[in-house]
Protein backbone atom coordinates (compact mmCIF):
# COMPACT_ATOMS: atom_id res chain seq x y z
CA UNK A 1 0.00 0.00 0.00
CA UNK A 2 1.35 3.43 -0.89
CA UNK A 3 1.83 6.09 1.73
CA UNK A 4 -1.07 8.53 1.60
CA UNK A 5 -1.15 12.30 1.91
CA UNK A 6 -3.71 14.48 3.58
CA UNK A 7 -5.26 17.35 1.67
CA UNK A 8 -3.63 19.81 4.05
CA UNK A 9 0.14 20.12 4.00
CA UNK A 10 1.64 19.33 7.44
CA UNK A 11 3.79 21.94 9.13
CA UNK A 12 6.76 19.59 8.98
CA UNK A 13 7.26 17.78 5.67
CA UNK A 14 8.48 14.22 6.29
CA UNK A 15 11.80 13.01 4.96
CA UNK A 16 12.20 10.10 2.58
CA UNK A 17 14.25 8.44 5.34
CA UNK A 18 11.23 8.57 7.64
CA UNK A 19 8.83 7.41 4.96
CA UNK A 20 11.00 4.41 4.10
CA UNK A 21 11.47 3.57 7.77
CA UNK A 22 7.69 3.15 8.10
CA UNK A 23 8.09 -0.20 6.36
CA UNK A 24 5.46 0.52 3.71
CA UNK A 25 6.36 0.31 0.05
CA UNK A 26 7.43 3.56 -1.56
CA UNK A 27 5.97 4.63 -4.90
CA UNK A 28 7.44 7.83 -6.32
CA UNK A 29 7.64 9.81 -9.56
CA UNK A 30 10.44 11.68 -11.31
CA UNK A 31 10.00 14.85 -13.36
CA UNK A 32 12.39 17.13 -15.24
CA UNK A 33 12.45 20.92 -15.70
CA UNK A 34 10.85 21.81 -19.09
CA UNK A 35 12.39 24.24 -21.54
CA UNK A 36 9.23 25.77 -23.04
CA UNK A 37 5.94 27.23 -21.85
CA UNK A 38 4.02 24.30 -23.33
CA UNK A 39 6.42 21.95 -21.59
CA UNK A 40 5.73 23.80 -18.36
CA UNK A 41 1.99 23.31 -18.79
CA UNK A 42 2.51 19.63 -19.57
CA UNK A 43 4.65 19.21 -16.43
CA UNK A 44 2.02 20.68 -14.13
CA UNK A 45 -0.75 18.65 -15.76
CA UNK A 46 1.27 15.51 -15.06
CA UNK A 47 2.05 16.60 -11.50
CA UNK A 48 -1.61 17.32 -10.72
CA UNK A 49 -2.83 14.07 -12.26
CA UNK A 50 -0.18 11.96 -10.51
CA UNK A 51 -0.68 13.80 -7.22
CA UNK A 52 -4.04 12.03 -6.98
CA UNK A 53 -2.17 8.72 -6.72
CA UNK A 54 -0.64 9.92 -3.43
CA UNK A 55 2.99 8.98 -4.11
CA UNK A 56 5.50 8.72 -1.30
CA UNK A 57 7.52 11.54 -2.90
CA UNK A 58 8.30 13.17 -6.24
CA UNK A 59 11.71 14.21 -7.52
CA UNK A 60 12.80 16.93 -9.94
CA UNK A 61 15.99 16.43 -11.94
CA UNK A 62 18.83 18.86 -12.46
CA UNK A 63 20.03 19.39 -16.05
CA UNK A 64 23.46 18.44 -17.35
CA UNK A 65 26.02 21.00 -16.30
CA UNK A 66 23.55 22.51 -13.86
CA UNK A 67 21.79 24.11 -16.82
CA UNK A 68 18.33 23.85 -15.29
CA UNK A 69 19.37 24.77 -11.76
CA UNK A 70 17.01 27.69 -11.24
CA UNK A 71 14.09 25.91 -12.90
CA UNK A 72 14.66 22.88 -10.68
CA UNK A 73 14.64 25.03 -7.57
CA UNK A 74 11.54 26.93 -8.74
CA UNK A 75 9.61 23.73 -9.45
CA UNK A 76 10.60 22.13 -6.15
CA UNK A 77 9.58 25.27 -4.25
CA UNK A 78 6.21 25.32 -6.02
CA UNK A 79 5.63 21.61 -5.34
CA UNK A 80 6.47 22.23 -1.68
CA UNK A 81 4.09 25.19 -1.36
CA UNK A 82 1.21 24.40 -3.73
CA UNK A 83 0.72 20.63 -3.55
CA UNK A 84 0.36 17.88 -0.97
CA UNK A 85 3.46 16.16 -2.37
CA UNK A 86 6.82 15.58 -0.68
CA UNK A 87 9.44 16.99 -3.09
CA UNK A 88 12.98 15.73 -3.57
CA UNK A 89 15.39 18.11 -5.31
CA UNK A 90 18.13 16.63 -7.50
CA UNK A 91 21.39 18.45 -6.91
CA UNK A 92 24.68 18.20 -8.85
CA UNK A 93 28.21 19.42 -8.37
CA UNK A 94 28.90 20.31 -12.01
CA UNK A 95 30.11 23.88 -12.62
CA UNK A 96 29.41 24.92 -9.02
CA UNK A 97 31.78 26.26 -6.39
CA UNK A 98 31.43 25.32 -2.75
CA UNK A 99 29.97 28.76 -2.11
CA UNK A 100 27.30 28.25 -4.80
CA UNK A 101 26.52 24.77 -3.52
CA UNK A 102 26.02 26.03 0.04
CA UNK A 103 23.85 28.89 -1.23
CA UNK A 104 21.60 26.44 -3.10
CA UNK A 105 21.29 24.19 -0.08
CA UNK A 106 20.26 27.27 1.90
CA UNK A 107 17.66 28.12 -0.73
CA UNK A 108 16.15 24.64 -0.44
CA UNK A 109 16.10 24.96 3.33
CA UNK A 110 14.36 28.31 3.05
CA UNK A 111 11.65 26.73 0.91
CA UNK A 112 11.10 24.02 3.48
CA UNK A 113 12.65 21.34 1.25
CA UNK A 114 14.42 18.77 3.41
CA UNK A 115 14.99 16.04 0.82
CA UNK A 116 17.88 16.30 -1.65
CA UNK A 117 19.24 13.76 -4.14
CA UNK A 118 22.99 14.31 -4.49
CA UNK A 119 24.57 13.30 -7.80
CA UNK A 120 27.88 14.41 -9.25
CA UNK A 121 26.16 15.15 -12.56
CA UNK A 122 27.08 15.08 -16.23
CA UNK A 123 29.28 17.64 -17.98
CA UNK A 124 27.42 20.19 -20.12
CA UNK A 125 26.97 19.46 -23.81
CA UNK A 126 28.17 15.86 -23.82
CA UNK A 127 27.05 13.61 -20.94
CA UNK A 128 29.90 11.24 -21.78
CA UNK A 129 32.50 13.99 -22.13
CA UNK A 130 35.37 14.64 -19.77
CA UNK A 131 34.27 15.50 -16.25
CA UNK A 132 36.13 18.57 -15.02
CA UNK A 133 35.98 19.63 -11.38
CA UNK A 134 35.14 23.25 -10.66
CA UNK A 135 38.35 24.78 -9.25
CA UNK A 136 36.49 25.67 -6.06
CA UNK A 137 34.02 22.79 -6.10
CA UNK A 138 33.92 19.09 -5.24
CA UNK A 139 35.08 16.08 -7.21
CA UNK A 140 32.90 13.21 -5.98
CA UNK A 141 29.27 12.75 -4.99
CA UNK A 142 30.34 11.59 -1.54
CA UNK A 143 31.75 15.09 -0.92
CA UNK A 144 28.42 16.56 -1.97
CA UNK A 145 26.63 14.25 0.46
CA UNK A 146 28.86 15.43 3.32
CA UNK A 147 28.34 19.10 2.39
CA UNK A 148 24.54 18.72 2.46
CA UNK A 149 24.49 16.75 5.72
CA UNK A 150 26.73 19.36 7.37
CA UNK A 151 24.42 22.16 6.21
CA UNK A 152 21.35 21.21 8.23
CA UNK A 153 18.65 18.66 8.90
CA UNK A 154 18.45 17.15 5.43
CA UNK A 155 17.65 13.69 4.14
CA UNK A 156 20.10 12.82 1.36
CA UNK A 157 19.62 10.34 -1.46
CA UNK A 158 22.21 9.22 -4.01
CA UNK A 159 22.28 7.46 -7.36
CA UNK A 160 22.98 3.76 -7.87
CA UNK A 161 23.84 1.98 -11.10
CA UNK A 162 22.65 -1.62 -11.59
CA UNK A 163 24.93 -2.09 -14.61
CA UNK A 164 27.65 0.30 -13.40
CA UNK A 165 28.35 3.98 -13.89
CA UNK A 166 29.71 4.62 -17.40
CA UNK A 167 32.84 6.19 -15.91
CA UNK A 168 33.54 3.37 -13.46
CA UNK A 169 36.34 1.10 -14.64
CA UNK A 170 34.80 -2.04 -13.16
CA UNK A 171 31.71 -3.21 -11.31
CA UNK A 172 33.88 -3.61 -8.21
CA UNK A 173 35.09 0.00 -8.24
CA UNK A 174 31.54 1.17 -8.91
CA UNK A 175 30.38 -0.72 -5.82
CA UNK A 176 33.17 0.87 -3.81
CA UNK A 177 32.12 4.37 -4.87
CA UNK A 178 28.51 3.63 -3.96
CA UNK A 179 29.39 2.34 -0.49
CA UNK A 180 31.53 5.42 0.11
CA UNK A 181 28.52 7.65 -0.65
CA UNK A 182 26.50 5.71 1.89
CA UNK A 183 29.26 5.98 4.48
CA UNK A 184 29.34 9.74 3.85
CA UNK A 185 25.75 9.95 5.05
CA UNK A 186 23.36 8.90 2.27
CA UNK A 187 19.99 7.75 3.62
CA UNK A 188 18.80 5.90 0.52
CA UNK A 189 19.53 5.47 -3.18
CA UNK A 190 17.56 5.51 -6.44
CA UNK A 191 18.88 3.50 -9.36
CA UNK A 192 19.39 4.60 -12.91
CA UNK A 193 16.80 2.99 -15.19
CA UNK A 194 17.22 -0.70 -15.99
CA UNK A 195 15.16 -3.42 -17.66
CA UNK A 196 16.12 -6.72 -15.98
CA UNK A 197 15.37 -7.52 -12.35
CA UNK A 198 18.59 -9.52 -12.13
CA UNK A 199 20.66 -6.36 -12.63
CA UNK A 200 19.06 -4.77 -9.56
CA UNK A 201 19.34 -7.93 -7.48
CA UNK A 202 23.05 -8.32 -8.28
CA UNK A 203 23.64 -4.68 -7.30
CA UNK A 204 21.85 -5.22 -4.01
CA UNK A 205 23.84 -8.38 -3.32
CA UNK A 206 27.16 -6.64 -4.06
CA UNK A 207 26.31 -3.78 -1.72
CA UNK A 208 25.09 -6.11 1.04
CA UNK A 209 28.33 -8.11 0.76
CA UNK A 210 30.15 -4.90 1.69
CA UNK A 211 28.07 -4.62 4.86
CA UNK A 212 25.97 -1.73 3.52
CA UNK A 213 22.21 -1.84 4.12
CA UNK A 214 21.19 1.51 2.61
CA UNK A 215 17.74 1.13 0.96
CA UNK A 216 18.00 1.06 -2.85
CA UNK A 217 14.84 2.05 -4.76
CA UNK A 218 14.61 0.76 -8.36
CA UNK A 219 14.17 3.41 -11.05
CA UNK A 220 11.78 2.17 -13.75
CA UNK A 221 10.83 3.66 -17.12
CA UNK A 222 8.37 1.83 -19.41
CA UNK A 223 9.27 1.56 -23.10
CA UNK A 224 6.37 3.26 -24.89
CA UNK A 225 7.96 3.59 -28.34
CA UNK A 226 10.96 2.05 -30.10
CA UNK A 227 12.99 5.25 -29.79
CA UNK A 228 12.81 4.85 -26.00
CA UNK A 229 15.29 1.97 -26.24
CA UNK A 230 18.05 4.08 -27.77
CA UNK A 231 17.22 6.94 -25.44
CA UNK A 232 17.50 4.68 -22.41
CA UNK A 233 20.99 3.59 -23.47
CA UNK A 234 22.05 7.21 -23.86
CA UNK A 235 20.62 8.23 -20.49
CA UNK A 236 21.77 5.23 -18.47
CA UNK A 237 25.04 4.42 -20.22
CA UNK A 238 24.03 0.74 -20.08
CA UNK A 239 23.22 -1.54 -23.03
CA UNK A 240 19.58 -2.46 -23.46
CA UNK A 241 19.18 -6.20 -22.70
CA UNK A 242 19.15 -8.21 -25.92
CA UNK A 243 16.42 -10.60 -24.78
CA UNK A 244 14.14 -7.68 -23.90
CA UNK A 245 14.95 -5.85 -27.15
CA UNK A 246 13.94 -8.99 -29.08
CA UNK A 247 10.42 -8.82 -27.60
CA UNK A 248 10.03 -5.25 -28.85
CA UNK A 249 11.60 -6.00 -32.23
CA UNK A 250 8.84 -8.52 -32.86
CA UNK A 251 6.16 -5.79 -32.64
CA UNK A 252 8.17 -2.75 -33.77
CA UNK A 253 5.87 -1.99 -36.73
CA UNK A 254 2.81 -1.57 -34.52
CA UNK A 255 3.15 1.45 -32.19
CA UNK A 256 0.11 0.44 -30.14
CA UNK A 257 1.56 -3.04 -29.51
CA UNK A 258 4.94 -1.54 -28.63
CA UNK A 259 3.32 0.68 -26.03
CA UNK A 260 1.20 -2.16 -24.67
CA UNK A 261 4.23 -4.44 -24.43
CA UNK A 262 6.18 -1.66 -22.71
CA UNK A 263 3.57 -1.34 -19.97
CA UNK A 264 3.33 -5.13 -19.61
CA UNK A 265 7.09 -5.60 -19.40
CA UNK A 266 7.51 -2.78 -16.87
CA UNK A 267 4.70 -4.23 -14.75
CA UNK A 268 6.32 -7.67 -14.81
CA UNK A 269 9.60 -6.09 -13.79
CA UNK A 270 8.04 -4.08 -10.95
CA UNK A 271 6.17 -7.07 -9.57
CA UNK A 272 9.31 -9.20 -9.54
CA UNK A 273 11.31 -6.46 -7.83
CA UNK A 274 8.66 -6.01 -5.15
CA UNK A 275 8.40 -9.78 -4.65
CA UNK A 276 12.19 -9.82 -4.15
CA UNK A 277 11.95 -7.22 -1.40
CA UNK A 278 12.66 -3.93 -3.17
CA UNK A 279 11.51 -1.05 -0.91
CA UNK A 280 9.39 0.43 -3.66
CA UNK A 281 9.46 1.75 -7.23
CA UNK A 282 10.59 5.13 -8.58
CA UNK A 283 8.79 5.84 -11.87
CA UNK A 284 10.63 7.94 -14.46
CA UNK A 285 7.77 9.84 -16.11
CA UNK A 286 9.32 12.20 -18.68
CA UNK A 287 6.59 14.58 -17.51
CA UNK A 288 3.79 12.39 -18.86
CA UNK A 289 1.13 10.85 -16.68
CA UNK A 290 -0.78 8.31 -18.78
CA UNK A 291 1.81 5.53 -19.11
CA UNK A 292 2.83 5.99 -15.50
CA UNK A 293 -0.78 5.78 -14.30
CA UNK A 294 -1.40 2.64 -16.37
CA UNK A 295 1.74 1.02 -14.99
CA UNK A 296 0.89 2.07 -11.46
CA UNK A 297 -2.58 0.58 -11.82
CA UNK A 298 -1.04 -2.76 -12.81
CA UNK A 299 0.93 -3.06 -9.57
CA UNK A 300 -0.90 -0.86 -7.06
CA UNK A 301 -4.62 -0.16 -6.63
CA UNK A 302 -5.56 3.35 -7.72
CA UNK A 303 -6.92 5.43 -4.81
CA UNK A 304 -10.63 6.23 -4.89
CA UNK A 305 -11.88 9.18 -6.97
CA UNK A 306 -8.88 9.09 -9.35
CA UNK A 307 -10.23 7.77 -12.68
CA UNK A 308 -7.60 6.82 -15.25
CA UNK A 309 -7.53 9.39 -18.04
CA UNK A 310 -7.56 8.30 -21.66
Reading phi first (left if > 0) and then psi (alpha if -120 to 50, else beta), residue 185 is in left
Q: What count of residues does the chain have?
A: 310
Reduce the DSSP state of residue 215 to 3 states and report it: coil
Whole-number Å distance between alpha carbons of 189 and 128: 22
Residue whose C-alpha is closest to residue 63's, from 91, 30, 44: 91
DSSP output for 15-70: PHHHHHHT-SPEEEEEE---SSHHHHHHHHHHHHHHHTT--SEEEE---GGGTTHH
Report the largest interatomic distance among the alpha carbons of the chain, rounded to a whole angstrom.
53
- Is 82 one of the catalytic residues? no
Cβ proximity of 20 and 279 under 8 Å? yes
Whole-number Å distance between alpha carbons of 141 and 160: 11
Please pick, among 11, 18, 24, 30, the residue that the annotation labels catalytic: 30
Residue whose C-alpha is closest to residue 183's, from 217, 158, 151: 158
Whole-number Å distance between alpha carbons of 109 and 104: 9
Find the helix or strand (DSSP H, E) in which 178 lies: helix 171-183
Active-site residue set: 30
Amino acid sequence: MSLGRSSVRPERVPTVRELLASGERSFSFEFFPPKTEEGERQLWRAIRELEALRPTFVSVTYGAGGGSRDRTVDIVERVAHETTLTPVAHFTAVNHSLRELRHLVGRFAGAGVRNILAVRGDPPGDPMGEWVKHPEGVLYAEELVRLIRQSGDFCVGVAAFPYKHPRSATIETDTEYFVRKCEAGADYAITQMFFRAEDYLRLRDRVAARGCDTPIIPGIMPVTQMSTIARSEQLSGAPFPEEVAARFEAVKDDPARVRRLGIEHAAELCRKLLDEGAPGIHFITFNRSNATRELFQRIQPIPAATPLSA
